[in-house]
Structure 1
């Protein structure tokens, strides 16, 4: 009788252990699998970090040594990551000079609060572009004596968001035709300047100016030409006034100026110069030349003025008196 051989698997037991070579092979295969899985996770993490358009970073607080920075750093900053890893000052030097003090002080708050989420500042890229960053940072572990304090964070490029905010603010505060402050924004700023002058005991002047016979300009040459007159007068005002002066269109053909820190004598000279500059403007409509003049009312801050409305009322009264007396002049009220 013929007996078939049985196909048996050699299962190791305590009595019959697996040969050492086979055990080593299985261990190597297991280790290789772990390496491959780790490699896959590293590749996935690397792909994610490359695709994220935010800069992940970590620094040793005491030494200011940059421990890690993600690939987005080079895209956002336009600078070499290797240089930053070698010298923390690469990040510091990229911050806009006007924002540097704030950026450093706000970062230091992380030691007190554990996290800082409201940091927004500008950087200058290697090619000279200005970008806005929103930078959140926190201490990634409980600080223990003798152990380094590691601060980690994420910096997001919010330039487009900031540009949109600035444009919306400009539209909300600017007179569309003349590109000066609109009435609401002008008086908001004027009231702030008034409060500051009163608190500091500093001089301040309020000037109102109105285009003489502006209705005749519109009636004779049309509203498009009238708009051109308003724009040219606004340009003259911006050219004469100082950087810190406030200038806005507060009515149809009426403009207002606030001159912080300007003594009465100087304010009068500014008003006279502005009147002459506008009188020298030349306009042309279908070959017909014409010009315009303005009447101005000037009011200077006194101890009796408790609100900006006091100055405004005096300047308004003086302006209408200037018109009554023949126009094209400045009167102080």
Structure 2
């Protein structure tokens, strides 16, 4: 019997062609998939790059042992005003930009990351390429998943907090400073005075307390007006800050009353300071509507003794001495 060839069965050549086409199709699909992955990766890279450009904080990474900078984000050039390529070539570019007063702290706090694994409260100043001073809040973390044979990588984010810091400093200034005279206000003056008193008592150091009150200040206000009285207060505050030594405390503690604490000042030196202050104030000249006038102050001075148990003891003696100076005719220093 003769069997006819099945017309539906593929020829060997046809089967080979189908297999080849399938391979090509599969390869094409793989290429299309790979191309799609490349495009997605490119999109992600572009998105990440856009995000890094827009973030106003410096992302950075260093190899700990060599301090080689592995990465720094675009914000570095905006905030530091310096070239990122120079930083990548030499890590000292960052360290050299830190404010000299903060450099030791910045270096020490960075080394703590080895022990703590994360340091999140570093604030220090930098000096930009054009001389501006900026505040940074710099957080850093260590790569805890590294194996023993891998280098230690420290990554961080440094945020520019200059505006926030300036606001904090301004709020602190307003809270501690007399608005009119820019001297310490009463609360801040006595907080600082208590610290100096405790230090003097603990270390056995001399300390002087001085109170001064403007003579006949009510008459000045009544005669020339309160604006003129304000000018008198301003000039006396400036004189007080100018005459007193560096490290002395000076503040306005009442309407026309000022106080000073002189750490490490022996009684005879304190008297010289008080007398000079009184003389300098007496030489001030004021004018109002073609009228010229001067002012004087009455001062009460006292010094720390072994019997003093609180700063209030000194304040009370100085206050009593000041009123005694008023009774004796004003424009003088009385020791209490």
Same fold (TM over 0.5): yes
- Greater shift after overlay, 307-316 or 195-204? 195-204
Among candidates 88, 91, 101, match of residue 88 of structure 1: 91
The 1:15/1:28 distance shift into structure 2, 3 A limit, reads closer
- Does 1:217 pair with 2:220? yes
Q: Which residue is 2:65 aligned to?
A: 62
Q: Aligned-pair distance for 1:331?
A: 1.3
Give unmatched runs, 5+ long, in structure 1. Answer: 1-11
3-state SS of paired residue (1:104): helix
Equivalent position SS for 2:306: coil
1:260 equivalent to 2:251? Answer no
Aligned with residue 108 of structure 1, among 106, 111, 123: 111
Corresponding residue for residue 80 of structure 2: 77
| Residues paired across the two proteins, number | 322
**Deviation of 1:261 (Å):** 1.4
Given candidates 114, 118, 133, the residue that maps to 2:136 is: 133
1:34 and 2:26 are equivalent in the alignment: no
Per-residue CA deviations over 1:240-267 (Å, capped at 9, x if unaligned) read 1223111100011100001111111111
Q: 1:143 to 1:21 in 2, by over 3 A?
A: closer
Q: Which residue of 2 aligns with 1:152?
A: 155
Bigger radius of gyration among the two: 2
Match of 2:241 in 1: 238
> Where do residues 1-333 of structure 1 align in structure 2 (5 Å cutoff)?
16-19=18-21, 20-333=23-336
Q: CA deviation at 1:76?
A: 0.6
Relative to the length of structure 2, the TM-score reads 0.92
In the aligned structure 1, how far is the partner of 2:135 from the partner of 2:151? Answer: 30
| RMSD between superposed Cα atoms in Å | 1.7
Q: How far 1:13 moved relative to its partner?
A: 8.9
Whether the aligned pair in 1 keeps the contact of 2:250 and 2:260 (CA below 8 Å) is yes
Q: Counterpart of 1:98 in 2: which secondary structure?
A: coil
Q: CA deviation at 1:14?
A: 10
Q: 2: distance between equivalents of 1:59 and 1:36?
A: 30
**2: CA distance, partners of 1:144 / 1:242:** 59
Q: Name the CA distance, whole Å, in 2 between partners of 1:14 and 1:183.
A: 100
- Cα deviation digits, residues 59-88 of structure 1 (max 9, x gap): 111111111000000001111111111111
1:7 alignment counterpart: none
For residues 108 and 60 of structure 1, the distance between their equivalents in structure 2, rounded to whole angstroms, comes to 13
Q: CA deviation at 1:33?
A: 2.1
Measured after TM superposition, the shift of residue 141 of structure 1 is 2.6
Distance across 2 between alignment mates of 1:136 and 1:107: 9
In the TM superposition, residue 17 of structure 1 has moved relative to its aligned partner by 2.1
What secondary structure sits across from 2:247 in the alignment? coil
Secondary structure of 1:141's aligned partner: coil
Residue 22 of structure 1, CA deviation: 4.6
Shift in Å at residue 143 of structure 1? 4.6
